[in-house]
Amino acid sequence: MATKLDKLAICQGLTESELAPLDAIAVESQLKKGTRLFGEGEPGDALYVVLSGAVEITKKDQLLATLEAGSAVGEMSLIVEGENRSANAYAQTDVSLIKLPAAGFQKLLGQNDTGALKVVHNLAKVMSRRLSLINDKLVDTLGKKKKEELADFGKILNKWSF
């Protein structure tokens, strides 16, 4: 039995039986154009996947990204418990979404659910690609300024090393 989850990048490589527990916690919803999905500073309680339409991600009134069908937003909420949202998300158009609640996902992870573990692996790939793009943009932007500013940024990164 195919589900809407099986076509999503975050569910790549999952078998039907691995998708079943995720399907059980997934909730489909719709937003009207202009509706806020979540706001910066709010507790991260779910990951959302855009099924159709577009979602704008903003921070301090600056557009960071426009996410379309297949894109995940709020992925940190599945990985880091209690972390607040780092940006705002608004429906740029009418949007259809799948919501994966963090509490249900964390429960699956606690049970060493193979599907949930594969989703974390896939999310790491997505986040790695996004970080690579951000790094390129950062170098392009700061590279035009002083080298010292890049060195300062390196100090900030080192602060968060594990």
5-159 is a CATH 2.60.120.10 domain: yes
Which residue, 108, 38, 40, is CA-closest to 78? 108
Where in the chain are the domains?
A: 5-159
Whether the per-residue pLDDT at 155 is higher than 80: the answer is no
Whether the per-residue pLDDT at 40 is higher than 60: the answer is yes
- Per-residue pLDDT tens for 77-134? 888 877 899 999 999 999 999 999 999 999 999 999 999 999 999 988 888 887 888 7
**CA–CA dist 84, 11 (Å, integer):** 24
Contact between 70 and 49 under an 8 Å Cβ cutoff? The reply is yes
